């Protein structure tokens, strides 16, 4: 059962990846795309002929873009699943609880500083995410629990507040407003191999920590009190998971902008199909998140080609109705 789910999602991810590097304003036949890719990686020669610019488009633009998109989707879905487990709340998604907006503020704040390298953007986003999660958690806590209503209210309030500061920063430094606008809509403002190489260590370490936290998240599903009585060092574990999920969210946001709903929708589908065991849920969400964002990104690139829509618009168009559907069926949920 477990293996089948992993195989299925890995297959979907590979499929989405191949489509993503083949399709776009210029269509490269998937067969050619694969041959170019294998040729570049292994040095093998293929007899097929294709225009030389296929190779440039594929290697310099589409491949790094697809890897970054896949990693971003994986990061958002993985941290969404972790936040949901941590708060034991089906609506805790990096976007809804304001963490993504906080990371966006941190990123924009760093961008608006003169003479600061791109390398510091993830650091700013990480600090913004941590500050936001701390504020939301503190505000949302009633006694010893974090109820659904206060969590969402605090998330929305803090999210609006950070967005307002972000808008203000954009207005006072007007030369960056276009870049920042696209960023906030979840348009990828960066391309090429360099940003990918900066983002990679953050995303990889954050997601690895999240995958390893599956067992602790399982214990936490019985409530913090029982988890502590079962012998889990609850306070330490909570901080570890918050840091890992914030790091992952922040890295995704600083390179791909604020993309909503992936962190909410993907873990929900996984949970409905394969159950609520976090040892499976986190890695499966990561695979599913990569697949979903690749497909959304593909749609964003081809529906109005050669223009590219910000992918955040696509995920919101699909995600928002889905979110409403979850709200409606929440009453009879047994998989939570």
**Contact residues for other proteins (CB under 8 A)?**
212, 214-216, 218-219, 221-223, 225-234, 271, 275-277, 279, 334-336
Q: How far is the CB of 231 from other proteins (least distance, A)?
A: 3
Q: Which C-beta is closer to other proteins: that of 149 or that of 229?
A: 229
List the one residue out of 206, 207, 237, 205 whose CA is nearest residue 221.
237
Q: How far is the CB of 223 from other proteins (least distance, A)?
A: 5
Q: Which long-range contacts (CB under 8 A, 24 or more apart) does 318-324 make?
A: 318/261, 318/265, 319/260, 319/261, 319/262, 319/264, 319/265, 320/261, 322/261, 322/265, 322/268, 323/261, 323/264, 323/265
Quick one: 170 or 281, whose CB is closer to other proteins?
281
Least Å from the CB of residue 213 to other proteins: 8
Instruction: State which residue, 222 or 325, has the beta carbon closest to other proteins.
Output: 222
- Closest distance of CB 204 from other proteins, Å: 18
- Cα–Cα nearest to 187, from 72, 24, 274, 57: 72
Nearest to other proteins of 85, 98 (CB atom): 85
CA–CA distance, 10 with 102 (Å, rounded to integer): 31
Nearest approach, Cβ of residue 120 and other proteins (Å): 32
Query: Which of 167/218 has CB closer to other proteins?
Result: 218
Find the shortest distance in angstroms from Cβ 336 to other proteins: 6
Q: Nearer Cβ to other proteins, position 64 or 276?
A: 276
Nearer to other proteins, 193 or 336 (CB): 336
Closest contact distance (angstroms) between CB of 299 and other proteins is 32
Provide the terminal-to-terminal Cα distance of the chain, rounded to the nearest Å: 20
């Amino acid at each position: 059962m477990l293996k089948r789910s992993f195989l299925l999602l890995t297959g979907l991810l590979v499929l989405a990846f191949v489509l993503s590097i083949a399709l776009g304003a210029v269509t490269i036949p998937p067969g050619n795309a694969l041959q170019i890719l294998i040729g570049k990686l292994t040095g093998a020669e293929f007899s097929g002929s294709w225009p030389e610019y296929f190779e440039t488009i594929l290697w310099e633009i589409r491949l790094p873009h697809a890897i970054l998109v896949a990693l971003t989707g994986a990061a958002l879905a993985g941290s969404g699943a972790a936040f949901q487990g941590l708060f034991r709340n089906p609506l805790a998604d990096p976007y809804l609880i304001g963490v993504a907006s906080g990371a966006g503020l941190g990123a924009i704040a760093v961008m608006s500083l003169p003479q600061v390298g791109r390398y510091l953007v993830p650091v700013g986003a990480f600090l913004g995410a941590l500050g936001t999660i701390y504020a939301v958690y503190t505000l949302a806590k009633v006694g010893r629990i974090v109820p659904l209503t206060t969590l969402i209210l605090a998330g929305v309030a803090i999210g609006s507040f950070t967005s307002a500061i972000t808008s203000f920063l954009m207005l006072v430094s007007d030369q960056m407003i276009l870049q920042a606008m696209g960023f906030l809509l979840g348009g990828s403002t960066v391309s090429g191999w360099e940003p990918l190489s900066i983002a990679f260590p953050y995303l990889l370490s954050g997601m690895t920590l999240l995958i390893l936290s599956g067992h602790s998240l399982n214990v936490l599903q019985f409530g913090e009190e029982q988890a502590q009585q079962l012998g889990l060092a609850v306070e330490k574990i909570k901080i570890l998971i918050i840091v890992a999920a914030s790091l992952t969210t922040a890295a995704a946001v600083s390179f791909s902008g604020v993309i909503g709903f992936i962190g909410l929708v993907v873990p929900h589908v996984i949970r409905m199909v394969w159950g609520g065991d976090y040892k499976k849920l986190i890695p499966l969400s990561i695979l599913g998140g990569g697949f979903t964002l690749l497909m959304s990104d593909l749609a964003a690139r081809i529906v109005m080609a050669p223009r590219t829509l910000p992918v955040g618009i696509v995920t919101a168009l699909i995600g928002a109705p889905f979110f409403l559907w979850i709200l409606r069926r929440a009453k009879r949920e047994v998989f939570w």
